[in-house]
């Protein structure tokens, strides 16, 4: 286990790399904004500033600030950890199923997807037994159903199960 723990504490990404990636994305977005503003026109015409006038400068400042942030990160003499492997693993353990959950919402509706998501989370990460898991996940979804569909009358996205039960 010792070697495993050591492995978990090794850096997955350094702050320097993360800073540079974020700065690069910011610069790329800045360029995108500038290009689109040029398409719309960033000048003055007879009836005032064109649609791209204001955003164009936003794009310019985005690029400048991205460049400054990248330079500052590169000149930082210390090597610091952005995430360790262990932390990264835990974050991905939440993030990846979360993406799956959002995809499931579109397929099965929000209530069924939420029940499945909470249940899987509890079993995988919380190591709970089936009875407790079922009670919590079904209970929470039912509570949300009552709250949104019945009390506040805010319809949420539903799927085949609700259709089969005639709740649509």
Partner 1 sequence: MDEIQSLIGGFGVALSWFNLMLMLVGIMLGVIIGVLPGLGGANGVAILLPLTFSMAQQPGGATSGIILLSCIYWGALFGGAITSILFNIPGEPWSVATTFDGYPMAQKGEAGRALTAAFSGSFVGALFAVLLITFLSPLVAKFALKFGPAEFFSVYLLTFCAFVGLSKEAPFKVVASMMLGFALAAVGLDTVTGQLRMTFGSTSLLKGFDFLIAVIGLFGIGEILQTMEEGLAFKGVRAKLKARIVLDTWKELPRYWMTSLRSCVVGCFMGIVPGGATPASFMSYGLAKKFSKDGDKFGTGVIEGVTAPETAAHAAGTSALLPMLTLGVPGSPTAAVLLGGLMIWGLQPGPLLFTEQKDFVWGLIASMYLGNIVGLIVVLTCVPLFASILRIPFSIIAPVILVICAIGAYTVHSSMFDVWMMLLFGVVGYVFKKLGYPLAPLVLALVLGDRAEDSFRQSMLMSQGDMGILFSNGLVGGLTTLALTLLFWPLISMVWDKVRGVRGKS
Note the residue count of the chain: 168
Binding-site member from 11, 31, 90, 138 for partner 1 (CB under 8 A): 90
Binding flag, residue 20, partner 1 (CB under 8 A):
no
Least distance CB 159 / partner 1 (angstroms): 12
Query: Which string of x and - marks every residue 39-68 that binds partner 1 (by CB under 8 A)?
Result: -x---x---xxxxxxxx--xx-xx--xx-x
Binding flag, residue 154, partner 1 (CB under 8 A):
yes
Measure CA of the first residue to CA of the last residue in the chain; give whole Å.
52
Q: From 3-11, 31-39, 160-168, give the range in contact with partner 1 by CB under 8 A.
A: 31-39
Instruction: Indicate the residue among 49 and 160 with the shorter CB distance to partner 1.
Output: 49
Q: What secondary structure does DSSP assign to the chain, as a single string? A: -HHHHHHHHSEEEEHHHHHHHHHHHHHHHHHHHHHHHHHH--SEETTEE-TTHHHHHHHHHHHHHHHHHHHHHHH--S--EEEEHHHHHHHHHHHHHHHHHHHHHHHHBHHHHHHHHHHHHHHHTT---HHHHHHHHHHHHHHHHIIIIIIS-----B-HHHHHHT--
Report d(CA 118, CA 101) in Å as an integer. 10
Instruction: Indicate the residue among 105 and 162 with the shorter CB distance to partner 1.
Output: 105
Binding site for partner 1 (CB under 8 A): 15, 18-19, 22, 26, 29-30, 32-33, 36-37, 40, 44, 48-55, 58-59, 61-62, 65-66, 68-69, 72, 82-83, 87, 90-91, 93-95, 98-99, 101-102, 105-106, 110, 114, 117-118, 121-122, 125-126, 128, 136, 140, 144, 148, 152-157
């Amino acid at each position: 286990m010792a070697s495993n723990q050591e492995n978990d504490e090794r850096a997955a990404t350094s702050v320097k790399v993360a800073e540079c990636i974020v700065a690069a994305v910011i610069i790329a977005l800045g360029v995108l904004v500038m290009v689109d503003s040029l398409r719309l026109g960033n000048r003055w015409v007879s009836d005032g500033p064109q649609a791209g006038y204001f955003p164009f400068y936003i794009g310019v400042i985005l690029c400048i600030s991205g460049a400054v942030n990248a330079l500052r990160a590169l000149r930082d003499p210390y090597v610091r950890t952005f995430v360790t492997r262990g932390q990264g693993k835990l974050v991905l353990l939440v993030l990846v199923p979360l993406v799956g959950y959002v995809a499931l919402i579109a397929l099965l509706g929000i209530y069924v997807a939420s029940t499945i998501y909470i249940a899987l989370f509890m079993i995988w990460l919380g190591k709970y037994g089936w009875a407790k898991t079922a009670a919590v996940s079904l209970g929470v979804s039912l509570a949300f159903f009552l709250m949104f569909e019945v009390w506040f009358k805010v319809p949420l996205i539903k799927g085949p199960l609700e259709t089969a039960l005639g709740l649509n």
